Structure 1
Amino acid sequence: MRNRYLALLMAMAAMPAIGHAMQDAAPAAPAPAPATSTIQQLFEQSTQATEAADYPRALEILTALEGRVVRNPRSLAIVRVRKAMVLAELSRWVEARDLLNQAAPALPRDDASLSTDRYRAAYTLGRVSMGDLDYVGALAHFSAALAEAEGPAARIQALLGQAQAGTFVDPAEALKAAEAANVIAVADPKMFDKASLAHIDLIRGRALLNLGQFDPAEKLFARAVKQQGGLTTKVDFDDLVTRSDASIAAMLAGHRDTARNYLVYTGAGRMPQQDFTQGADMALPRCGEDGVQPDDYAVVEFGISDSGAVSYARPVYGSRPGPSALAFARAVRDWSWRPDDVKNIPALFRFVTRLELRCSTAEGGPSMLAGPTKALGDWLEARRVPGPVLDNVPMTRQRALLLQQAN
C-alpha cells in the first residue's frame, strides 16, 4: 500500500511558499463552531477537516477550540500549532508565524507524546521562513523538525526541507540531505508513489544544478519528467516546474535541442495578448550590492496574485553557488502589475513563471514608485502632514496607501 500521507506531504512541500503579498486583504471571519461539541469532538472534527483540505472549516473549529482550552497551556499550545498549520495552508503566513512563535516554546520538550506537534511547529516555521526568503532561518527550523521526525515520511519531508533551503546556503550539504531522503525512499519502493519519487529527484537535481553538475542534474530531471507521465500536452504546476528544470539543466549542459524541446512542452511563450512587462514595476538588484556581482545571474520563479502583487518568489538557479540568487528573488518579491493588466496573463503563468535575471547597473534599478513616493513625501513634509509607513508593505498596498494619503 502506497503512502498517501507522504504524497500529501510532498504536495505541500512542492507548493510555493506564499509570503507577505497575500496579506493585503483581511479574510472574512468564519462562523463559530457548534458550542455543543465537546473538546475531543472539536479536535477530531478539526483533524477530519484538515485531512480533507477543508481549511476554512478547520480554522473555524480550531478557533473555537482555542477559546475552550485557553486555561490549559499544554492543550492551548497543541491547538495553536495546528491552527498555525491551517493558516499556512490558507497563505496567512504572518498570522501563522506569530501563532507559532507563541505556541512552539510552550510545548514541553520533555514530553515525548508531543514530538509530532514539535515537528509540525518546526516544519511550518521552516516553510514560513522560506516564504520570507530567510533560507538560513528555514534551514535551522527544518533541522529542528528532523530531530523530532518519527517515521520515514516525516524524515523525508524534513530532509527535503533542509535540501530546499540549503541549496542557496550550502548546496553541497543540501545535496547530502536530498540524497539521504532518497535512500529512505528507495529502501521501500512499495511505500512511495512515482509523484513522491519525482519530487525527491527534483530537489536532488536542483542541488546538483547549483553545484554546477549539469549533466547529472539533467538526468535526474529527465527521470522526474518520466515519473510524471512523460512529455505530454498536459501541463499542470508540477509538469511546468519539472520540464522547466530539465530545460535549464540541458541548456547549461550544452544540449540546446533537448532544452528547447523541454521548453516547448512547458507552453512557454504563449501569451499573445500582451507584453509580460507592460505596466509592470520590475526593479532589479543593483550590481555590487547584497553580494551580487556584475557577472551574476539567476533564474527566479514567482506567481502573481489577482491584485497584481507577487504572491511568492523563490530562486531556482544561481550562476554562483550560495546566497546571491536570493537577492534576485527578494527583488522579484517586490514587483507588481496593474490588476487590469494581470487579467491578460493566462492563469497558469500567473501562478508560476520563471525568468532569468541580471543585476542593474543603473542607480539602484529603482522602482517606478520611487519618484512619486519621494515627491509625495516632500509635499506632505512641507504641509507638516505625517506620511504613510511603507516599511514591509507590499507594493500594491503601498500604492493604495499613497493614494489614500494624497486624497
Structure 2
Amino acid sequence: MRIKTIALLSAGVLAMAGGLVPVGAQTPPPSTTVQQDFDAATALDAKPDRTASLAAWEKLETRTKAGSRSRGIVLVRKAPTLFALNRADESVKAARAGLALLPADDASLAEDRTRAFLILGQVATDTLDYAGAVTALQQAEASALTTGDKLGAMLALATAQVFIDPTAAAATLARSDTLIAKSKLENSVAARFARERTLLKLNTGDIAGARASALQAIRLLGGLETDKVDIMDASARSDAAIAFLLGGNAEEARRYMAYTGAGRMVKGSFDPAAEMRSPDCGGDAGLKPQDVAVVEFNIASDGTIDQAVPIYAAGGGQVALEFARAVKGWSWPAEKVQAIPAFYRYHVRVEMRCSTAFQRPSIGDGLDGVLEQWLSSKGVTVAPEPVGPQAAALAGQRAELASAAAQSPDGLRTLAAIYRLTSNPTVAREERAALYARALAIAKANDAPPSARLTFDLPGRVDAVTDIWKPGVFERTLTPMVSEPVYANDPQARAAIRLIMVDGAVARTRKSEKNDTAIVTLRQVADDKALRPNDPLRVGALIRIASIEERNGQIDAARATFASSGLTANQCAIMDAPPKMVSKPGSEAFPMEAQRWGFEGWTQVQYDIGADGNVVNQRALLSYPPFIFSEAGTKFFTMAKYAKTYRPDGGLGCGATTSRIKFLLPESARRGS
C-alpha cells in the first residue's frame, strides 16, 4: 500500500522548541492555546482522517505570525498532509515556504528541516522526478541529527540514486552501513536496506551480488515459510526471482516468484483487459525495441495508478523511469478493480517492452535541432552530449554555465550552456524549471525563432507543475500556448505544441476511451496547409491519428490515414486483409514449470508475419508475472502458422501485430484439489 506520510526511522515528534508565537490579540479570545492546537494537530497526524488533520494545521497557521519560525514549523508539518490528500503542488509550496522561515543555524529545528526535505523527496519520487528526489534527500541527510533520521534519509536517497547515479547509490549505502554497524535495527528495517542493495546490483549487472542480498532480505523478513506475508515479503521474493532468472536459474526464479502470490489468486484475477498498453518505441524518450523493464505499481480503488516505481531495466535508469511514466497513465474501470484482492492491487509487477507498431520520431529532437542550427548561425557551438554516465558530466556542465554567465549572463554562450545542462537527466525538476525560464528570457532577448524557444518553453511549463499527472492538468498547462501569437503564427511551433499536447493527454487516458478531442487536435496539424506534405510533424500527426483510430476499432479509417502519411502501411492491425492463423499449438504451450508451481498469467506478444506465413521478430511487450510466461508466449506464436501472403518485393506479410495470450489452470488446480 502506498504510504503517503513521511516515516522516519526514529520515533517521536519533538515539541516546538521555544514555544509557539501567536499572531496577537484576537476577539473573541480563543478557547485553546497555540501549543494546545499544535498538540491536537500532531495527534491528528497519527490518525487516518487527513482532512481533519489539514483543518487543524490550517487553523494553527492562522494563529501564528506571518514570517515567523512558528509559521514555518506549521507549514512544514502541513506539507505531508497535503501530499496525502493528493495535493502535491500545494505540499511542495508549503514545504518550501516553511523551510524559508526556519533559521538554518537553529539546531532545535533540525527535525523540522529534515521533515521538509523528506516530504520534498517523497513528492519528487512519487512523481518520478528522481533527480529532484536526490537533491532533496541529500539535504535531508545533511540536516538530520539522529542516526534514525539519517538512515531514513539514506534509504530514500539510495532508492532514487539507483536509477539516476548508481555510483552515488553505492556510496550512500556504504555510509548507511557505517551507521547500521553502530545501531540495532529491527529486522524489517535492515531488510529494506538489503532490498535497496539488491536493486542496485540488479541494475548494475552484479547478478550474483543481487541474488545474495535478495536472499538476505528474505531471511531478515522471516524466510519463505513465515506465516504472515506482506508487501515487503512479496517484493523481496520477487527481487530474488528476477536475480535467479537473470542468473540463468529459471527453476529457482519460479520458486521464489511462487512465494510472492503473483499469478496465484484463488479469488478474482488480475486481468490486463484493454487498458494496459506499452509505450511506443522512439519518441522523445528514445526507447528501443531491446529495452526491457520491470515496473511495480499500485492500483487505487478508483482504478487509477496510485504509484509506479521502476524495479529493473536493461537499458539504463532513464529507460526504467520512462516505462514507469507509461504505467502512471494506465487505469481500469472501478468495478473491475473491486474484483482484484487488495493485496494484489497494492503490489503488481509487470515486465515491459516498447511497441514498434507506430514508432514515431522525437518532437523534442526536432526542436533541439532548430535551436542548435540557430546557435550555430550565430557562431555559438553547443557542447556535444556526454559519453558515459550523465551524473559524471554534471560538474563540468555546471562549470561551463558559471563561466559563460560570468562572461555574459544574457549571452548566447550562456543559453547554449543552459541547454546542455537541462538535457542532463540528473538535474532536478525544480532546478530545470528555473533554468528553462532563464533560458527562455535569453532566447526572447536575442530574437530566437519560435521553434527554438519551444525547446525551453514547453518543458519549462510542464516542469513548473508538480501535479502534472492529474487528469486534465497537462492539457490545461499547454493549451494556452497554441493561442500565443509568437507560436500561433509559426506553423512548426503550433504543430509541435499540438503534438505534445496530444501525447501527454493520450498517455493519461484509458486505452478504451475514444480520444475524439485528440483526433481533432491532430487533424489541425495534418490539415495545416503551411506544412509540407512530408513534414515530419504532419507525418507524426497522421501516425498518431491512425494509432487512435486503430485502437477505436476504425480499421478502414486507420488504414487510409496511415497511407496518407506516405509510409508503408504493412502493420497487421490496419491491413485490409491481415493473414489468418491456420495452425497453433495446444496445451503443450503452457510451461510445465509454471503449471507445477500453480501459476496463471498472461503475456502480450508483438511479432511480424512473413510472406511465407511464418512468425518472425516475436517479442513479449507485457508479461505478468514478470518473466514467467514471456518465453512461453513468444514460443506460442513461433509455433503458430499463418496463411501465406503474396508480396512482390518478398517483404513481410504484415508487421507489428499484437496478440495477448492467457495461461489459465483448470479450476481444480486453482482450488488446489
Equivalent in 70, 77, 90 of residue 75 of structure 1: 70
Deviation at 1:186, TM superposition (A): 2.3
Give the match's secondary structure for 1:277. Answer: coil
Matched, 1:225 2:218: yes
367-376 or 146-155: which moved more?
A: 367-376
Structure 2 distance, partners of 1:104, 1:205, is 34
**Contact kept? 1:288, 1:294, Cα under 8 Å:** no
| Greater RCO structure (CA 8 Å; 6+ sep) | 1
Spell out the pairing of 1:185-224 with structure 2 (5 A cutoff).
185-189=180-184, 192-224=185-217
CA distance in 2, matches of 1:169, 1:67: 40
Between the aligned partners of 1:224 and 1:204, the Cα distance in structure 2 is 10
Structure 1 portions without partners, runs of 5+: 1-6, 13-33, 381-407
Query: Cα–Cα, structure 1 residues 88 and 288, in superposed 2: closer, same or farther, change >3 Å?
Result: closer
Aligned to 1:303: 298
Distance 1:53 1:309 in 2: 21
CA distance in 2, matches of 1:328, 1:175: 24
**Which residue of structure 1 lines up, in the alignment, with residue 8 of structure 2?**
9
How far does residue 46 in structure 1 lie from its aligned partner after superposition? 2.4
Within 2, Cα distance between the matches of 1:341 and 1:68? Answer: 46
Q: Which amino acid aligns with 1:231?
A: L
Q: Structure 2, unaligned stretches of length 5 or more?
A: 1-5, 12-28, 361-505, 525-673
Task: Work out whether residues 76 and 94 of structure 2, in 8 Å CA contact, stay in contact via their aligned partners in 1.
Answer: yes
Q: Report the Cα distance in structure 1 between the residues aligned to 2:210 and 2:108, rounded to whole angstroms.
A: 40
Query: TM-score, normalization: structure 2?
Result: 0.49
Q: CA deviation at 1:83?
A: 0.8
How well do the aligned residues superpose, as a CA RMSD in angstroms? 2.8
Report if the CA contact (8 A) 2:298-2:308 is conserved.
yes
CA–CA distance in structure 2, aligned partners of residues 295 and 223 of structure 1? 31
- Percent identical residues: 35
Task: Report the Cα offset of residue 376 of structure 1.
Answer: 5.7
2:350 matched residue in structure 1: 355
Counterpart check, 1:255 vs 2:249: yes
Q: Which amino acid aligns with 1:235?
A: V
CA displacement at 1:56 relative to structure 2: 4.5
In structure 2, the partner of 1:341 is 336
User: Over alpha carbons, which structure has the higher Rg?
Assistant: 2
Matched, 1:268 2:276: no
Q: Could you tell me how far apart the structure 1 residues matched to 2:211 and 2:152 are?
A: 23
Which residue of the other structure, out of 95, 98, 122, is the alignment partner of 1:100? 95
In the alignment, which residue of structure 2 is the partner of 1:28? none
Give 2:228's match in structure 1, choosing from 211, 234, 241.
Answer: 234
1:261 to partner: Cα distance: 1.1
Alignment of 1:366-381 (within 5 A): 368=511, 369=513, 371-375=515-519
**Structure 1 segment 271-290 matched on structure 2, within 5 A:** 271=265, 273-274=268-269, 276-287=271-282, 289-290=284-285
Deviates more, 1:198-207 or 1:55-64: 55-64
In structure 2, C-alpha distance between the alignment counterparts of 1:287 and 1:354, rounded to whole Å: 24
Aligned partners of 1:129 and 1:137 also within 8 Å: yes
Residues of 2 paired with 1:305 and 1:51: CA distance? Answer: 22
Count of matched residue positions in the alignment of Structure 1 and Structure 2 = 352
- The CA distance in 2 between the partners of 1:345 and 1:372, in whole Å, is 30
2:8 alignment partner AA: L
Shift of 1:362: 2.1
Q: Mapping of 1:116-127 within 5 angstroms? A: 116-127=111-122
TM-score normalised over the length of structure 1: 0.79
Cα-to-partner distance string for 1:18-48 (whole Å, 9 max, x where unaligned): xxxxxxxxxxxxxxxx952210111122233
Deviation, structure 1 residue 278 = 0.9
Give distance in 2, aligned partners of 1:105 and 1:204.
Answer: 34
**1:324 Cα deviation after fit:** 1.6
Separation of aligned partners in 2, 1:150 and 1:51: 23
Query: SS at the partner of 2:317?
Result: coil
For residues 211 and 9 of structure 2, the distance between their equivalents in structure 1, rounded to whole angstroms, comes to 21
Q: Tell me if the contact between 1:283 and 1:335 (Cα under 8 Å) persists in the aligned partners.
A: no
Q: Give SS of 2:56's match.
A: helix
